[in-house]
Amino acid sequence: IGQGHETTFPQILADRLGLQNETIRLVQGDTDLIPMGGGHGSSRATYMGGTAIWRAADIIIEKGRRIAAEAMEAAEADIGFEDGQFVVAGTDRAVDLLRIARIAREAGEPLDTYYAWTREWMTFPNGAHVAEVGIDRETGEVRMARYTAIDDYGVMVNPMVAAGQAHGAIAQGIGQALLEGAHYDPESGQVLAGSFMDYALPRADDLVPFELGFNPTRCTTNPLGVKGCGEAGMVGAFPAIASAILDALAPLGVGRIDGPANAYRVWRALGAARAKSG
């Protein structure tokens, strides 16, 4: 659904098992094959799914180590695993993982592995977001001028995917701060902003190029060292923009804006401040 797991999940497994990415086939959402699941959310998919993949790979390697020892007539304790191969220590004898997988399946002991992992601790992504805005005094229109962010998402499995997550989340935070508002009829409770004709989402011309950087520190609550990144941009964008707007309006006597800070609401706040000052 857009988080890039089709890229990152196979990448994690390929790296752990020393395989090419194209040899990994990811299947998602098939209840005939997957007995349980909670869906994607809470910035946890790479943390939880990635950890399960990591630990399943460890089990595969341990299963394969015994098969490799028998195949190469060596002690299991002498079998190492590196770059997709089981290697007899101190020799040039090696067998690749896929061949061991075939041998294991033919022997009725496949390397197939199921691993369910439950989150034990949280991850704590963090960062600093800075928004610069311009406000038209006559109309109340708020325009983004610059947006800069530095984030720590821990070890990044795929920096391009992480950057895409941050860009999308920042755009969503800008929409929340400047445009998006849910309106209901006070008598019936009927939603009045029930379609995109009435509910404003940010478009390309509402945004600016984002200056985005990363300062990663490894997370210690999972073997990958990853932290959640799906929501961080949105969490940073909304208060950064709201603070920038209030900073700009404070000299004009405006101390509060109930969001979204669209042109009409800012114009009304400016008018109220002028009337109050006489």
Domains assigned to the chain: 5-106 (3.30.365.10), 126-277 (3.30.365.10)
158: left (phi > 0), else alpha (psi -120 to 50), else beta?
Answer: beta
Residue that wins the pLDDT comparison between 43 and 89: 89
* pLDDT surpasses 80 at 85: yes
CA–CA separation, 215 and 267 (whole Å)? 39
Q: Give the model's pLDDT for residue 277.
A: 82
pLDDT of residue 148: 97
Give the model's confidence band at 39: pLDDT under 50 very low, under 70 low, under 90 confident, else very high: low
User: What local confidence, expressed as pLDDT, does residue 2 receive?
Assistant: 60
Q: What is the pLDDT of residue 69?
A: 94
Band (16; pLDDT cuts 50, 70, 90): very high
Query: Quick one: what percent of the chain has pLDDT higher than 90?
Result: 72
How much helix, strand and coil, in percent to the nearest 5, is found in the chain? Answer: 40, 15, 45
Instruction: Supply the pLDDT for residue 173.
Output: 95
Read off the tokens for 39.
């869906």
Torsion angle, alpha carbons of 257, 263, 265, 270, to 10: 80
Residues sharing a CB contact under 8 Å with residue 72, sequence separation 6 or more, in sequence order? 79, 86, 88, 93, 95
Using only C-alpha atoms, what is the Rg of the chain? 26
What span, in angstroms and rounded, lies between the C-alpha atoms of 173 and 240?
Answer: 9
Kind and range of the H or E element at 86?
strand 85-88
Checking if the pLDDT of 125 tops 80, the result is: yes
d(CA 7, CA 176) in angstroms, rounded, equals 29
pLDDT score of 116: 84
Of 48 and 215, more confident: 215
pLDDT in the model for residue 213: 95
Whether the predicted pLDDT of 115 surpasses 60: yes
Phi, psi of 263 (to 5 degrees): -60, -40
Residue-wise pLDDT tens digits, 131-149: 999 999 999 999 999 999 9
CB 86 within 8 A of CB 64: yes
Task: Tell me the pLDDT tens digit for each residue of 218-275.
Answer: 999 899 999 988 888 999 999 999 999 999 999 999 999 988 999 999 999 999 999 9
Average pLDDT taken over every residue of the chain? 91
Backbone angles phi, psi at 80, to 5 degrees: -110, 170
Q: Which H or E element spans position 152?
A: strand 142-152
DSSP conformational letter for 29 = S
* pLDDT for 41: 67
Q: What is the average per-residue pLDDT within 42-51?
A: 80
**Residues 172-204: tens digit of each pLDDT:** 999 999 999 888 999 999 999 888 888 999 999
